[in-house]
Amino acid sequence: MTENEIKLKAIAALTALRGGVGAEYVSDLLGEVVPPHFVVPADGDAREVGLAVLRQLSEPLSALITGFVLAFGALAEVYEQTGPTASVEEILQSLALELSRNSE
Which amino acid, 96? A
**DSSP assignment of the chain, as one string?**
--HHHHHHHHHHHHHHHHTT--HHHHHHHHHTTS-S-----TT--HHHHHHHHHHHHHHHHHHHHHHHHHHHHHHHHHHHHH-TTS-HHHHHHHHHHHHHHHT-
- pLDDT value for 12: 84
Q: How do residues 55-70 score in pLDDT, each as one tens digit?
A: 999 988 888 888 888 8
| Angle in degrees, 0-180, between the axes of helices 88-102 and 3-18, rounded to the nearest 10 | 170
Among residues 5, 1, 14, the alpha carbon closest in space to that of 69 is found at 14
A 10 A CB-CB count for 14 gives 21
- pLDDT value for 52: 95
Q: How do residues 71-103 score in pLDDT, each as one tens digit?
A: 888 877 777 777 667 777 777 788 788 878 876
Q: How do residues 8-45 score in pLDDT, each as one tens digit?
A: 888 888 888 777 887 887 788 778 888 889 999 999 99
- pLDDT value for 104: 62
